Amino acid sequence: MAGRPVTIKAWPGAMAATVVAVIVLGTLLAVALRAEQGRGLSPSDWAAIRFTVWQAILSTLFSVALAIPVARALARRHFFGRRILVALLGAPFILPVVVAVLGLLAVFGRKGVLNGGLAWLGLPEVQIYGLHGVVLAHVFFNLPLATRLILQGWQTVPSERFRLAAQLGFGPRDIWRIIERPMLARAVPLASAVIFAICLSSFAVALTLGGGPKATTVELAIYQAFRFDFDLGRAALLSCVQMVLVGSAAFVALRVSTKEGFGRGLDRPIARWDGAGLASISLDSVSIVMASLFLLGPLSMVVWDGLAGVLAMPSQVWAAAGISILVSLGSTVLLILLAVPIAVAAAGRHQWFEVVGLLGIAASPLVIGTGLFLIIYPIADPFALAFPVTALVNAVMALPFGLRVLVGPVRDVVQSYGPLSASLGLTGWSWLRVVLVPRIRGPLGFAAGLTAALSMGDLGVIALFADPEHATLPLQMYRLMGSYQMQAASGAGLLLLVLSFGAFWICDKGGRSDAHT
Amino acid sequence: MLTLEKLRVQQGDFDLSADFSLQEGARTAVLGPSGAGKSTLLGMIAGFVQTMSGRVLFRGDDITHATPGARPIAMLFQDNNLFPHLDVTQNVGLGVTPDLRLSADQKAKVFGALDRVGLAEFATRKPAALSGGQQSRVALARILVQDRPLILLDEPFAALGPALKAEMLDLVSELALENGATLMMVSHDPADARRITDQTILVADGVAHGPQPTATLLDNPPPALQAYLG
């Protein structure tokens, strides 16, 4: 029955979408108006643009190229711990960047495990700061993402196809040519586009591992223009550049993207009859072991060093942790208030609502932050509003992910139970309370958990706005690292890790516990 | 009396018009080939399908533009008649008040209805813990508490076996009689029509024809019905 969407009211979604559009586009406008005409880009601005693009290309290349063998191994092998490893591949998404950087420093840094080993062997030490470090950190974050996206591609190949291949006596080369290469030709561009866009807007990694004239991203340059020179005109100009860069990359990513979002259900290996040869067994084993070491090494160092550092933490760390929890809560509430109405409107006849939510992908948090600063500056003290602004921007940045998780389930509820709800007169609040929320509890908890964790670990806008007296936990941790109090920073890192993963776990669990069928 | 006055709907190639009245208390089957528009006819009456022209009148009131919940109608669909996350009492309670805040009297009404359909001891179960027949009974208990003068059935029992389906049809027929409601049901099976209805609407070739006595129509089917019955 082609019916009218009777239970669906679009106006709350329209309001939420307007709020998002005003935040993203309004700040852009504020920034663009401020950018000085005819000033042009300085040589150091051009250097920042070149570095941003170059490191993003390298990061994408390494992440995707290394992900292919790992994804293939995960697709065709059964082994103990496979499910845990696949689940672990989702962890970097909610892992705070500063925490990961701390872990990477513990492994690859000057006093790290790797250099310790090299010195013992009498070899020269490796340097983590600069381009290497930025690319290394990006690969750490995006190799798992690329692996998940490509593994998803492998799982879309029907297992019957591999059965047929086995029956026809295909060798590895035939399987590659006839099944795997065409699949990768679809999956790799998607993964590359997404990762390229993510790496373009990298701020916290560049802040901690980059810096200097040779390793400054555009986002970092915006921050420096803002914080160090208080040159709002230059910050605005760079924001416009960043907007064009990320906007075009996000546009490309959306064009090649499919509806599949987070690749749930990747924990089932496909029955395969190939790959019994010694060469492919060794390749798969090496891929899995190396990937596990690369992911788990830095994480276990964070835990190990952190346990030792907990006692060395100054009291500001606890205060900062309290602030971070409040900011994270605020973001999560805001996300739900924005995402649920937009998802409901998008589930009806107004599918374009979803696109408004995706604005958050094209926007850069530092650009929004700069714009908000310019808007707030004449009327209030922006530094006094640092935490609410951070909570708001984090909610907007998490919105694309939240919508991706929610729109499908909301649409299912509307399609399956719309007529029944309408015939019973279940509308408005009653419908929300009795039908929608209980039926989308799982995805809602998942989306809330992602937001809570992302916001807890965010080191972005807060770096622009915070005054020296107050900080969120990631910022406090960054300050400790900056003043070489590594032990205290390690303790704070462990605390942040626990808070981020804990926030995700509580929300996700809350959505699933006592789950209604 | 339910009156469809020069009612018409058109969606692309699909076209359906209806112009007839049903007496109150009548039990009417809707028969016809698939895709002819049996469900659409019910959807027009219940307010799910936007009509292009014409009016729907009930007891003289124009309900053409009323929302589905505001119409004097209780309806069962082919599937999704129960919310799986709500228990039996809550599912029935929705028929009393959609916000589920029930007074003591209203609760008593819900339990009375559950008792009537023989499900008193299943009150706290979720639909997944019930058999197909029991799930149908829950939906029927809700129809009972909704107490609307018009009951529309869009083949809600199609997935049940023949004996169970007959049992449900008899039950629905009794409930309609107890409430004094007018019953209208879509069916694929002429036996269903014979079993509980006294008149039949034939939907074919873009027209929902006015009701005719079921027995007469089935004994001497016009060509369109003949082709469908085989």
The residue written with tokens 């708001």 in the block is A392
The answer to whether B99 contacts A430, with C-beta atoms less than 8 Å apart, is yes
What is d(CA A321, CA A503) in angstroms, rounded to the nearest whole number? 13
Q: Is residue B47 part of a domain?
A: yes
Does residue B183 belong to the interface with chain A, where contact is any CB pair within 8 Å?
no
Residue A109 confidence class, pLDDT cut points 50, 70, 90: confident
Q: Is residue A190 part of a domain?
A: yes
- Taking the CA atoms of residue A83, residue A87, residue A88 and residue A92 in that order, the dihedral angle to the nearest 10 degrees is 160
At B103 the pLDDT is 93
Does residue A37 belong to the interface with chain B, where contact is any CB pair within 8 Å?
no
Q: Indicate which CATH number applies to the domain containing B222.
A: 3.40.50.300
- Cross-chain CB nearest to A422 (options B50, B68, B126): B68
The answer to whether A2 contacts B95, with C-beta atoms less than 8 Å apart, is no
Residue type, A147: T
Q: Which of A8, A423, A444 to mutate to test the interface with B (most CBs of B within 10 A)?
A: A423
Over 90: is that where the pLDDT of B41 sits? Answer: yes
At A7 the pLDDT is 56
Q: Is residue B8 part of a domain?
A: yes
Q: Indicate which CATH number applies to the domain containing A190.
A: 1.10.3720.10
Q: B-chain residues within 8 Å CB-CB of A426?
A: 69, 94, 98
Q: Is residue A2 part of a domain?
A: no
- A457 within 8 A of A95, measured Cβ to Cβ: yes
- B65 within 8 A of B142, measured Cβ to Cβ: no
At A33 the pLDDT is 84
ipTM: 0.83
At A274 the pLDDT is 64
Q: Is residue A496 part of a domain?
A: yes
- Cross-chain CB nearest to A6 (options B39, B67, B74): B67
pLDDT (average), residues A91-115: 88
Over 80: is that where the pLDDT of A348 sits? Answer: no
What is d(CA A180, CA A187) in angstroms, rounded to the nearest whole number? 10
At A155 the pLDDT is 80
Residues, chain B, total? 230
What is d(CA A63, CA A53) in angstroms, rounded to the nearest whole number? 15
What is d(CA B116, CA B108) in angstroms, rounded to the nearest whole number? 12
At A436 the pLDDT is 92
pTM of the model: 0.83
Residue A490 confidence class, pLDDT cut points 50, 70, 90: very high
At A358 the pLDDT is 65
Whole domain around residue A416: which residue ranges? 11-35+44-262+273-512
What is d(CA B207, CA B210) in angstroms, rounded to the nearest whole number? 9
Tokens of A36: 């000085």
Does residue A285 belong to the interface with chain B, where contact is any CB pair within 8 Å?
no
Task: Please give the backbone phi and psi of residue A239, each rounded to the nearest 5 degrees, phi first.
Answer: -60, -40
How many domains does one find in chain B? 1
Whole domain around residue B227: which residue ranges? 1-65+184-230
Task: Please give the backbone phi and psi of residue B155, each rounded to the nearest 5 degrees, phi first.
Answer: 55, 50
At A262 the pLDDT is 39
CA distances to A3, A316, A475, B50 from A469, in Å: 58, 9, 11, 62
Q: B-chain residues within 8 Å CB-CB of A424?
A: 69, 94-95, 98, 146
- A386 within 8 A of A481, measured Cβ to Cβ: no
Q: A-chain residues within 8 Å CB-CB of B74?
A: 423
Q: Is residue A5 part of a domain?
A: no
Does residue B95 belong to the interface with chain A, where contact is any CB pair within 8 Å?
yes
β-bridge pairing B14-22 and B207-208: parallel
Task: Please give the backbone phi and psi of residue A50, each rounded to the nearest 5 degrees, phi first.
Answer: -60, -45
Q: Is residue B94 part of a domain?
A: no
pLDDT (average), residues A142-156: 88
Q: Is residue B151 part of a domain?
A: no
Q: Which of A361, A51, A63 is nearest to A191 (CA)?
A: A63
The answer to whether B84 contacts A4, with C-beta atoms less than 8 Å apart, is no
Does residue B94 belong to the interface with chain A, where contact is any CB pair within 8 Å?
yes
For residue A45, the Cα-to-chain-centroid distance in whole angstroms is 26
Q: Is residue B13 part of a domain?
A: yes
The answer to whether A424 contacts B84, with C-beta atoms less than 8 Å apart, is no
Task: Please give the backbone phi and psi of residue A240, each rounded to the nearest 5 degrees, phi first.
Answer: -65, -45
The residue written with tokens 């626990």 in the block is A498
CA distances to B78, B140, B177, B179, B183 from B149, in Å: 21, 14, 11, 8, 9
The answer to whether B95 contacts A417, with C-beta atoms less than 8 Å apart, is no
